[in-house]
Structure 1
Amino acid sequence: MSRVKVSARPEDVGLSSAGMEELGAYLRSEVDAGTIPGAVIVVARKGRVCHAAAIGFHTIATDRPLCLDDGFRIFSMTKPVTAAGLMMLWDEGRWQFDDPVALHLPELDGLQVYDRRNADGSVRVVTAEHQPTMRELVTHTAGFGYALAMPDPNDPIDEAYRHAGVWDADDLPDMMQRIARCPLAYQPGRSWRYSIGMDIQGAIIERLTGTSLSDFLSDRLFAPLGMDDTHFHIAPNQKDKLATLYLRFGNANLTPIHNLLQPDYEAPHARPLGGSGLFSTAGDYTRFAQFLLDGGSHSSVELLSREAIHQIMSDQMPDAIRANSFTAGHQSIGPGVAMGVNGVVFTDPALAGAPVGRGTYQWDGAAGTWFWVDPENDLLCVGMTQVLSPDGPNLQRNTQQIIYRSISA
């Protein structure tokens, strides 16, 4: 079991103990306010963990405290992990950013684009100016939908995904066949829409390697990094340690719920989701984040090239939409903030109004998990909580403000 090990005082790495105390006080205030059940947070700088804390509750009803090695549904923080797996195949020359997606998934060739709804309720489609590319796929600019992320019941793309039963697919090949029946939301590269693109990437990894996404990531990433508690299912040794999932709307109390977004699989499943499927711990994800900061190497072994890491944490947005603003939950894309591979990249932090260093790469998850890596300041943070809340606190932004105030050198 991978545990978080504090190896430095904050002052040893140019942070302040007072700042870390403020960080803990802030998270405790959110627990006391009832916005989150608890949180695990890890801060590392210059390759050394200088702060790790578990605050609040694993399960509120029993007053069970949260522990550093508890497990979490990390939902969309799966996406950066899938990026690393995909870029391993880029290193091997298996795909290029300007490849059509259909080069690797022929069933997605000939996709059409939604134009308008006709008076009789039917949908009019037009020919795509070009088929979606891999670069568009990794930046949510290809035009694919999600069906889970768009709450508008009249949205024609989500409606098409529901009609095709995209989320009823037994495995990733079946899912791709169903997606192929749905129109794109816009001409590829013309706009931004949070999408199923990372699940499509999982299917591409399976097609290129001839193995399941879960086996590929386990063999090529999790095992080398010592991420022993990260899986697409709840491992037997983590079942009791998986934090209780809560739901909260507005000022209502936290309510324990079953996973509303996807099943909590207790055994390997044929449909591992590269966009949302992983269970992990703060310790494991810290190992992954440090791997990104270290340029793709671990214990002197190169798992990804430095150029691949550079591509992940560089602006990959199409020129036509770089100046526009888009949001997905707490993540914003706009002036000073672009998309790298499966995550946000700060190209101009001052313009974005963020305290982070240039080149910072970050993402979060639907149940309140968050992380970022900042190469300029050689700093990372991983945070974990378990509450589905459309209007919950922006833990990533708020903890960034505190941590960057504590930098002393």
Structure 2
Amino acid sequence: MADPADLPIAASPEAVGFDSGRLGRLDAYMAEMVEAGHVAGTSTLLMRHGQVVAFTTQGKADLASNAPLARDALFRIYSMTKPITGVALMILFEEGRWSLDDPITRFLPELVGLKVFAGLDANGGLLTTDAVRAPTMRELLSHTAGFGYGLFDVHPVERAYRDAGVLQAANLDELASRVAAVPLHFQPGGEWFYSVATDLQGLIVERISGQRFGDFLQTRIFDPLGMVDTGFQTRPDNVDRLTAIYCDDGAGGLRPATEAFDMPINDFTRAPVFESGGGGLVSTAMDYARFGQMILNRGALNGVRILSPVAVALMGTNVVPDAVLAVANPLRLLPFNPAFGFGLDFAVALDPRRLGMVEGRGTLSWGGGGGTWFWIDPENDIVFVGLIQRLADPVSSAFRNRARTLVYQALTHPEK
């Protein structure tokens, strides 16, 4: 097991290629957003060459109690759970338990005979056609299988997911059964749509390993990496560190969030109804930085290997078909194109300069519905974790974009 102690600290930002004064602009921006009441608190952790360059917390963990935000504060990381689920599945890939071109029906027989959305009838009912084949594991890990989510009111299939209560299932097996009753958005491999696919990945981990999903994550990822506070619920000894979460109050400020994505906010003091591989984890900045550094190190941290370098390379290789990337589609939620793609549970910057992005080529990233985000930049040897307590909206999106700019404007010695 890895030592859970804090990661190594750089002697100074300058020692690892950053300008201290310019890096201070990041802290100033975060302080400004806290002071303006746009967020309750911020936690930002920047690493380079395996060392912590800057780790700053500002503001409050809970506005009602006035409790300050500490470095070990626990955040609902929502979809930042997805890359961890992908790593769990890749561990089993390396054991020869599945391949990228396997049909998912090998592990999810409930999904044999899927239908595909073909339009609406005169009464607004869904018209369907047969799927030409079952989605593959590669498509499941890249959101190109055709599944929906039920979180976005943008398409009849999304509304059908919501009507079927897919995310309100009592367990992962029931979730798969409810998914089977709703048609795919498109033929497998024909598009990209953010989906419930990662929850299905968690079920596949359970079925292949014979372990409960959370137990697999604990024994194969969290314990080895020293991620001592990451899990599907809090413990008695750390429950006081769970941060409150907020949303826009409609007047430029914050109000306590009571639900997210049409579901009650999980307080994480009780075991969840099911362990969501798509968005169910709670974590800390330091824990997630350890995970990110393992990926940056091509699968290992402090002498503990989770994946081989080739498995990490697979996760960071775009698998969205060129024909999909070549055509714009507003339903994708992100502007995927030939310069920006998606690998196995990570977004991938293929040609960042072409997009006006400041990070390095091959940067892996994603974010969470509670305002959290991260990126892993192999070209510049950087890991960044940003955590706030505001449900995803234009303000929280602006945090992500501004943080990247402010980090890289301080990088005086780019690349390795």
Q: Quickly name the TM-score band, shorter chain normalised.
A: over 0.9
Do structure 1's residue 101 and structure 2's residue 108 form an aligned pair?
no
Match of 1:243 in 2: 243
Measure how far apart 1:397 and its partner are.
1.7
Give SS of 2:237's match: helix
Tell me if structure 2 keeps the 8 A contact 1:315–1:345.
yes
Match of 1:407 in 2: 411
Measure how far apart 1:4 and its partner are.
6.1
Q: Could you say if the C-alpha distance between residues 129 and 157 of structure 1 is closer, same or farther in structure 2, counting changes exceeding 3 Å?
A: same
* 1:43 maps to which of 15, 29, 46: 46
Tell me if structure 2 keeps the 8 A contact 1:327–1:333.
no
Tell me if structure 2 keeps the 8 A contact 1:344–1:362.
yes
Unmatched segments (≥5 aa) in structure 2: none
CA separation in 1, counterparts of 2:31 and 2:336?
Answer: 29
Match of 2:401 in 1: 397
Tell me if structure 1 keeps the 8 A contact 2:8–2:50.
no
* Identity level (%): 39
The more displaced of 207-216 and 7-16 is 7-16
CA separation in 1, counterparts of 2:250 and 2:5?
Answer: 36
Q: Could you say if the C-alpha distance between residues 90 and 327 of structure 1 is closer, same or farther in structure 2, counting changes exceeding 3 Å?
A: farther
The more displaced of 237-246 and 56-65 is 56-65
CA separation in 1, counterparts of 2:204 and 2:237?
Answer: 30
- Deviation string 1:13-62 (CA, Å, 9 cap, x unpaired) is 11111122111001111112222111100001001001000011112233
Which amino acid in the other structure matches residue 238 of structure 1? N
* 1:72 maps to which of 67, 75, 90: 75
Equivalence map 1:80-119=2 (5 Å): 80-119=83-122
- Deviation string 1:257-307 (CA, Å, 9 cap, x unpaired) is 234345333233451000100000001000000000111012223210101
Give SS of 2:129's match: strand
Q: Could you say if the C-alpha distance between residues 4 and 197 of structure 1 is closer, same or farther in structure 2, counting changes exceeding 3 Å?
A: same
Which amino acid in the other structure matches residue 151 of structure 1? D
Tell me if structure 1 keeps the 8 A contact 2:249–2:255.
no
With normalisation by structure 1, the TM-score equals 0.95
Measure how far apart 1:361 and its partner are.
0.2
* 1:377 maps to which of 362, 376, 380: 380
CA RMSD of superposed structures (Å): 1.8
CA separation in 2, counterparts of 1:329 and 1:244?
Answer: 30
Which amino acid in the other structure matches residue 182 of structure 1? V
The more displaced of 100-109 and 255-264 is 255-264
Match of 1:151 in 2: 153
CA separation in 1, counterparts of 2:53 and 2:360?
Answer: 19
Which amino acid in the other structure matches residue 277 of structure 1? G
- Deviation string 1:204-257 (CA, Å, 9 cap, x unpaired) is 111111111100000000000000100011222221111110011554320012
Do structure 1's residue 137 and structure 2's residue 140 form an aligned pair?
yes
CA separation in 1, counterparts of 2:234 and 2:145?
Answer: 32
Match of 2:297 in 1: 294
Tell me if structure 1 keeps the 8 A contact 2:370–2:389.
yes
Unmatched segments (≥5 aa) in structure 1: none
Match of 1:333 in 2: 336
- Deviation string 1:295-348 (CA, Å, 9 cap, x unpaired) is 101222321010110011111112320223456898542231100111210110
Which amino acid in the other structure matches residue 350 of structure 1? R
With normalisation by structure 2, the TM-score equals 0.93
* 1:268 maps to which of 259, 271, 292: 271
Give SS of 1:228's match: coil
Which amino acid in the other structure matches residue 355 of structure 1? V
- Deviation string 1:363-385 (CA, Å, 9 cap, x unpaired) is 00111101001011101100111
Equivalence map 1:118-197=2 (5 Å): 118-148=121-151, 150-152=152-154, 155-197=155-197
Q: Could you say if the C-alpha distance between residues 264 and 4 of structure 1 is closer, same or farther in structure 2, counting changes exceeding 3 Å?
A: farther
